[in-house]
Structure 1
Amino acid sequence: MSKLRLGCIADDFTGATDLANNLVRRGMRVVQTIGVPSSPLASDADAVVIALKSRTIPAEQAVEQSLKALQWLKEQDTQQTYFKYCSTFDSTPDGNIGPVIEALMQALDTEFTIACPAFPENGRTVFKGYLFVGDVLLHESGMSKHPLTPMTDSNLVRVLQAQMTGQVGLLDHTVVRQGLPFMRDSIQEMRQQGVKAAVVDAVDDADLLTIGLAVSDLKLITAGSGVAIGLPQNYGIQPDNQASALPTAIGRQAIVSGSCSVATNAQVTHFKQTGGASFAVDPLQLARGDDVVARAMAWASTCDPSSPLLFYATAEPEAVKAVQQQLGVAEAGHIVEKTLSEIARRLVEGGVGQLVVAGGETSGACVQALEITQMRIGPQIAPGVPWCHAHSPYALGKGVHVALKSGNFGSMDFFTHAFELLH
């Protein structure tokens, strides 16, 4: 196997495919693994993305998992390491992004890195250190009401500094726009001043390309998926459509949605209002012991096999809070993920070959239930969301096409558009 140019550690499953998608669009051959591989990759790749499920777990557990992933990457003699987090900088209230960054820096013996969640193509920009979602600040975007990772402060320097022991600085837009030499000089000055991590402004793809060149010699890059578009150029790799080719899609179509984000709520509503067949998963029924999976499968057997089916636990923030108050946050999330992942497994066993999963936690649970260990990254459905192809023992040797969508991503008609694109 050829030497890996880039080794990536992503803190959730949809974030991993988001990152892999941007690398593939720029011509890199990418393999995504589900968890830390137990052996070297079986095929050649320019980059590997290790998908963890560490975004909402305690910081010490997130650090432990990330260091295990880094150890595997070191064993593959990876040239550069990339820690990928959400473009809305999601982390637990106690903060696990900062601790993971510092642990990776120590393990890589490096004293400086950047932090840049910007993904302008998907409406995530950073200006003067403040994170915007579309035209509004992060905390005004609806993310302040997220049930697991409420983001109430849009100042990334302040947020990250609260999570790190080392000094956090800012490379603002005036630095980035003055070009590569000036940016590299500014990075050197920060290093001399003892800054450990610099939040970097980016408002468009031109900024990301400049940032990509400026960090070519860093051992560690920490970012959302956006910075990835500027990295393949450092390895002499150019965009190539063949990098995203996948086998022909077959089988029934289904959607499993556990995200409660504003975007996914709108997508679920749009699908239902345009005549899509849907089945609602009620956490309170699950808590009572109702066999919701059996009812879901019985319902699916009565539906038109030529049309996509939606299974959803998506709800408005007020409804989610009401359930959490009765069951507890952890228990409510656990029983929903377990149920949706079992539905996904039963669907694939029953002939579904094209599966969209909405929500990072739900995606993690579903790919684990399907026993998927590696995925080939294919064409982009929407910014940050590609179709993938994977082998699963439940797919009867045929493989399954999977799209893992972050809750915040995609247009209102994402669910229907995804299947149209695949064909």
Structure 2
Amino acid sequence: MIFGAVADDLTGATDLGLMLARAGMSVVQAIGVPREGVPLPEADACVVALKSRTIPAAEAVEMSLASARALRAAGARQILFKYCSTFDSTDEGNIGPVMDALMAELGAPVTVACPAFPENGRTIYKGHLFVGDLLLSDSSMKDHPLTPMTDANLVRVLARQSRHTVGLVPFEVVDAGAEAIRDVLGQASREGTGALVLDAVTDAHLVAIGEAVADMPLITGGSGIAMGLPDAYRRLGLLGEASAADADPHVPGRTAILAGSCSAKTLAQVAAAAEAGIAHRRLDPAALVAEATPVAGLADWAADQRADRPVMIVSSDTPEKVRALQREHGKGAVAEAVEHTMGALATALVERGFRRLIVAGGETSGAVIGALGIEALRIGREIDPGVPWTYSTTAEPLALALKSGNFGAEDFFLKADGVLS
């Protein structure tokens, strides 16, 4: 193993796995902290998918350290702490505390932070994160129910979370290429700057960053930061030439869409699927909190619909309605109720012959994977930038499209099912 990643949610881990697989690396995605004494599968890269983005920081640190130790024991020479391309966190963490702990664990005097992903509209300029043409703080992320992002200046955001001094590698340096980036990283290490946010507005910038950081023990960022790593590893003699990916397995069975994200992107995708005539049911989040949702009845309704078309079950709602419910019941209670219901629904649907699940939202995806008891996934065909089909490694595989709330085109749900048809 050359590369190991600790991802703070499931869909982000899948996004990263796709980035590496597209560049010819063999990739395994492990679900949860690797069990002690159970060896990780052989691969060029292993991405450990945690559910640590919004849990207490101390717990996120503990899980991340345990995962990094397992990856290092399996031979990984470089660790990436992978978080969302919109830097989802609060002033208490969890990005800064996990980064600090991993730096201490790996003996890294300096690391980098770069969540940019231009292909999906995430760019960084003068340390400010943009979502499309909007500053992060002006985007729909300002209304996120768990991690509202109201400051677009990543240097400032990370400095509030980390014990380290945080600096910036500005556009002019990144645009000058890998050698210029290395020079600034070296200077930062000598001057005691622990973490550096890197500007990046094009894929060429990410490739240069990958070349510059390929020999660092720890890097942090979104999946885009890995874009240039495979070729850099090849130049270092660590990785062979790209090989053709195995054919995706054929997974017969029905398709269900489970939408739990409340992002503007997912809400638009839900609306597009409903307008296209996809049979759907909307869950009442208040009823979920009250445990008044009949999961078995919903699964029976899904099984009674046309077998040649997907069905869709939605708990997503507008930010205003979600905030009102959180004020009444608390953020944790609402999130737990939604995740528990979606996990139970996934299990009930599989029992009724649904073998293809399209899941929207990182927390929802984690709940579904946990409920189904899946421990590892293989990366398959890409649906939209950053979102592939994945396949469980069980004897009778399930096909799962696990989508970050903010990813995918408006017709994603319709397109995803068509990829496997």
Distance 1:195 1:313, change over 3 A: same
Residues 162-210 of structure 1 show CA distances to partners (whole Å, capped at 9, x for unaligned) of: 1111110100110011122222111111111111000001111100000
The residue correspondences of 1:129-208 to structure 2 (distance < 5 A) are 129-208=127-206
Alignment of 1:69 onto 2:67: yes
* Map of 2:26 onto structure 1: 29
Residues 104-155 of structure 1 show CA distances to partners (whole Å, capped at 9, x for unaligned) of: 0000011100000000011000011000000110011110100000000000
* Map of 1:79 onto structure 2: 77
Q: Percent identity?
A: 50
In structure 2, C-alpha distance between the alignment counterparts of 1:240 and 1:40, rounded to whole Å: 28
TM-score, normalised by the number of residues in structure 2: 0.96
Asked whether the equivalents of residues 27 and 45 of structure 2 are also in contact (C-alpha less than 8 Å), the reply is: yes
Residues 225-273 of structure 1 show CA distances to partners (whole Å, capped at 9, x for unaligned) of: 0011111012225785732632013110111111000100000011001
* Map of 2:340 onto structure 1: 338
Deviation at 1:352, TM superposition (A): 1.1
Alignment of 1:20 onto 2:22: no
Worse overlay, 90-99 or 223-232:
90-99
Asked whether the equivalents of residues 55 and 62 of structure 1 are also in contact (C-alpha less than 8 Å), the reply is: yes
* Map of 2:52 onto structure 1: 54
The residue correspondences of 1:202-351 to structure 2 (distance < 5 A) are 202-236=200-234, 237=239, 240=242, 242-243=244-245, 245-351=247-353
In structure 1, C-alpha distance between the alignment counterparts of 2:38 and 2:3, rounded to whole Å: 15
> Given residue 409 of structure 2, which amino acid in structure 1 is its aligned partner?
S
In structure 2, C-alpha distance between the alignment counterparts of 1:284 and 1:292, rounded to whole Å: 13
Residues 362-394 of structure 1 show CA distances to partners (whole Å, capped at 9, x for unaligned) of: 0001000000000001111111111101045xx
Residues 295-331 of structure 1 show CA distances to partners (whole Å, capped at 9, x for unaligned) of: 2122113210111011110111111112212221111
* Map of 2:363 onto structure 1: 361
Structure 2: state its 5+ residue gaps.
none
Work out the number of aligned pairs and report it: 416
In structure 2, C-alpha distance between the alignment counterparts of 1:383 and 1:192, rounded to whole Å: 38
SS in 2 for 1:307: coil
TM-score, normalised by the number of residues in structure 1: 0.96
> Given residue 346 of structure 2, which amino acid in structure 1 is its aligned partner?
A
In structure 2, C-alpha distance between the alignment counterparts of 1:382 and 1:263, rounded to whole Å: 13
Worse overlay, 50-59 or 300-309:
300-309
* Map of 2:8 onto structure 1: 11
Asked whether the equivalents of residues 244 and 377 of structure 1 are also in contact (C-alpha less than 8 Å), the reply is: no
Deviation at 1:40, TM superposition (A): 4.7
Distance 1:169 1:258, change over 3 A: same
Structure 1: state its 5+ residue gaps.
none
Worse overlay, 243-252 or 265-274:
243-252
In structure 2, C-alpha distance between the alignment counterparts of 1:41 and 1:233, rounded to whole Å: 27
Asked whether the equivalents of residues 296 and 348 of structure 2 are also in contact (C-alpha less than 8 Å), the reply is: no
Asked whether the equivalents of residues 39 and 74 of structure 2 are also in contact (C-alpha less than 8 Å), the reply is: no
Distance 1:300 1:239, change over 3 A: farther
**CA RMSD in angstroms, aligned pairs only:** 1.4
SS in 1 for 2:405: coil
SS in 1 for 2:245: helix
In structure 2, C-alpha distance between the alignment counterparts of 1:144 and 1:305, rounded to whole Å: 39
In structure 2, C-alpha distance between the alignment counterparts of 1:202 and 1:100, rounded to whole Å: 23
In structure 2, C-alpha distance between the alignment counterparts of 1:300 and 1:376, rounded to whole Å: 27
> Given residue 20 of structure 1, which amino acid in structure 2 is its aligned partner?
G
Asked whether the equivalents of residues 341 and 365 of structure 1 are also in contact (C-alpha less than 8 Å), the reply is: yes
In structure 1, C-alpha distance between the alignment counterparts of 2:363 and 2:303, rounded to whole Å: 27
In structure 1, C-alpha distance between the alignment counterparts of 2:203 and 2:39, rounded to whole Å: 31
